[in-house]
């Protein structure tokens, strides 16, 4: 049989003497760095004082890391609370021996919930705007950031897809996952599928933000972001291998899919609600 699969077996990062810059960490840095640049641009377009950027960045960073980590442990690895409690909150493991691991095992559903909560605080206590004004713009940034995170997963050869025919144009070999899945067979590069989907979502949201008046219909862009992002996640999950212990299973759907459904429904409700939440361009400025 003719084979077309690609062998994906990269190094873990860039080695600089005793220090290794892991690709996954670099992708997170790129995501937050570009996110900051994008948000700076949007604040300028909307005539919002740049002094509100730093607290937004801080609360976003806290919400993303803490929420993503807790989400992973709660939904996929709850036994870690008993086995190695401190590793839930810190980038270390203490059992069977102490080791610096960096933050690994992160769940986007947990990050989303935490971001919603931290942004609520930021909206009411700091920038004093309708939370959906912030969510609309944050959704654009998160869509692009999500693509970088999935590229980090790709470099780590994690969140891989189910087996696929060797002659499929989508077939990849992930030798680094042989310890977990046994013999190495061609699989779908589901990380790339999600990353591409998120980039396209980012482009769509950016065009709508810049070329239409939807940004004045507070919540509309965020609702659309929720629907499309979680739909991408929902459908790509059909091609993924299970991630750890599937805490929730329902009707043949895995944990990621079950958790995505409420977010898609919420997105639709938010879009409908946004029709009653329009503002005039003059009201969009904050000095």
Annotated binding-site positions: 150
Tokens of 143: 């869509």
Residue 233 CA, chain-centre distance (Å), reads: 10
SS3 234: helix
Q: How far apart (Å, rounded) are the C-alpha atoms in residues 227 and 266?
A: 8
Q: How far apart (Å, rounded) are the C-alpha atoms in residues 267 and 269?
A: 5
Q: Helices in 108-217 by DSSP H: which ranges?
A: 108-121, 131-155, 178-181, 190-211
Nearest Cα to 194, choosing from 163, 249, 225, 240? 240
HSE value, Cβ hemisphere, 13 Å, CA-based, for 205: 29
Q: How far apart (Å, rounded) are the C-alpha atoms in residues 77 and 73?
A: 4
The secondary structure of residue 242, as a DSSP letter, is P
The secondary structure of residue 50, as a DSSP letter, is G
HSE value, Cβ hemisphere, 13 Å, CA-based, for 185: 10
């Amino acid at each position: 049989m003719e084979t077309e699969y690609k062998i994906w077996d990269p190094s873990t990062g860039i080695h600089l003497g005793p220090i290794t810059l892991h690709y996954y960490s670099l992708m997170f840095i790129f995501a937050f760095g570009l996110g900051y640049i994008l948000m700076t641009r949007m604040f300028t377009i909307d005539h919002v004082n740049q002094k509100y950027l730093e607290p937004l960045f801080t609360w976003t960073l806290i919400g993303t890391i803490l929420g993503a980590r807790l989400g992973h442990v709660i939904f996929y690895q709850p036994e870690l609370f008993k086995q190695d409690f401190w590793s839930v909150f810190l980038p270390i493991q203490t059992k069977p021996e102490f080791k610096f691991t960096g933050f690994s095992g992160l769940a986007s559903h947990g990050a989303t919930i935490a971001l919603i909560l931290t942004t609520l605080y930021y909206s009411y206590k700091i920038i004093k705007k309708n939370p959906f004004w912030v969510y609309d713009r944050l959704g654009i940034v998160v869509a692009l950031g999500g693509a970088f995170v999935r590229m980090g997963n790709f470099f780590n050869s994690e969140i891989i897809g189910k087996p696929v025919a060797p002659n499929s144009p989508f077939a990849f070999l992930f030798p680094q996952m042989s310890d977990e899945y046994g013999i190495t067979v061609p699989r779908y590069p589901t990380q790339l599928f999600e990353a591409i989907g998120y980039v396209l979502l980012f482009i769509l949201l950016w065009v709508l933000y810049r070329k239409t008046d939807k940004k004045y219909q507070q919540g509309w862009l965020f609702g659309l972001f929720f629907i499309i992002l979680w739909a991408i996640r929902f459908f790509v999950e059909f091609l993924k291998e299970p991630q750890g212990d599937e805490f929730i299973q329902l009707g043949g759907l895995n944990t990621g899919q079950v958790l995505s459904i409420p977010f898609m429904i919420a997105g639709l409700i938010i879009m409908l609600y946004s029709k009653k939440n329009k503002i005039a361009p003059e009201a969009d400025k904050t000095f």
